[in-house]
Amino acid sequence: MADHTTLMNGRVKLIQSKDGLRASMDSVLLSSIVKANRDDAILDMGCGTGAVGLCVNERLKDCNIPITGIDIQNDMIDLAQQNAKLNDLLDPQYLCSDIEDKSIFEAEAFDHIVMNPPYYQDGTRQKSPDIAREKAYSGDLKIWIASALYWVRQGGSLNIIHRADALDDILTLMKGKFGAIEVWPVYSKPDEPAIRVLVRGLRNRKTPMTIHPPVILFKSNGQPSDQSDLIIKNGTGLG
């Protein structure tokens, strides 16, 4: 079963499965930290329905950005291809494959990589009998970042959204490989702990890390913050 939803105040249209992982505001948040020039090539690792790439395309629609996506689930690739047509995305490339297989693309094939990797490490949750679905829910962050390092060009960017408590692991794995690292903690409400972290780094740069002011999605009364409306609805970029 599938249904139709939208992101970015209706500007990005999505067909999504009613079961399993679904694109949400995380996709818009991740797209908000991507900086690209005209004709830069972007890879969406673990693309799912293609939501992140579509949000990047909408935000930077004057840049003529080629979008490539890979996902281990055939049904997600089918949805990504449908969504590309639904949003008039020109010549996207969606492949059903495992991100562990570096031979899928040549080294340094992309200017930018976006990833919303599995939020659970292998062995930390009950396994699904479906191997492909299990890889969508659980994975090894070390493998994801290693493949991204291989596929992104020198000076190109890696853009990640993850659980806030994964920041230490992310920074450890990026150390010595990515520099000019920027971090945006994401809070649901101002008086609650961070729920997500956005991280952007450039391959083989030596610039020191920057920690930006937090992104706060909702006011204490539960209403969307002004900043949230700018990012989630209007597609305003961060940084």
CATH 3.30.70.520 fits 2-17+25-233, yes or no: no
**pTM, two decimal places:** 0.92
The 10s digit of each residue's pLDDT in 69-125 is 999 999 999 999 999 999 999 889 999 999 999 999 999 999 999 999 997 664 444
Q: 136 CB contacts (<8 Å, ≥6 apart)?
A: 20, 21, 46, 48, 71, 72, 73, 76, 118
Handedness of CA 152, 116, 185, 27 (dihedral sign): positive
Characterize 94-114 residue by residue with b for buried, 16 or more Cβ atoms within 10 angstroms of its Cβ, and e for exposed. bebeebeeeebbeeebbbbbb
The 10s digit of each residue's pLDDT in 29-57 is 999 999 999 999 999 999 999 999 999 99
Domain boundaries, the chain: 2-17+25-233
Beta bridge partners of 2: 17
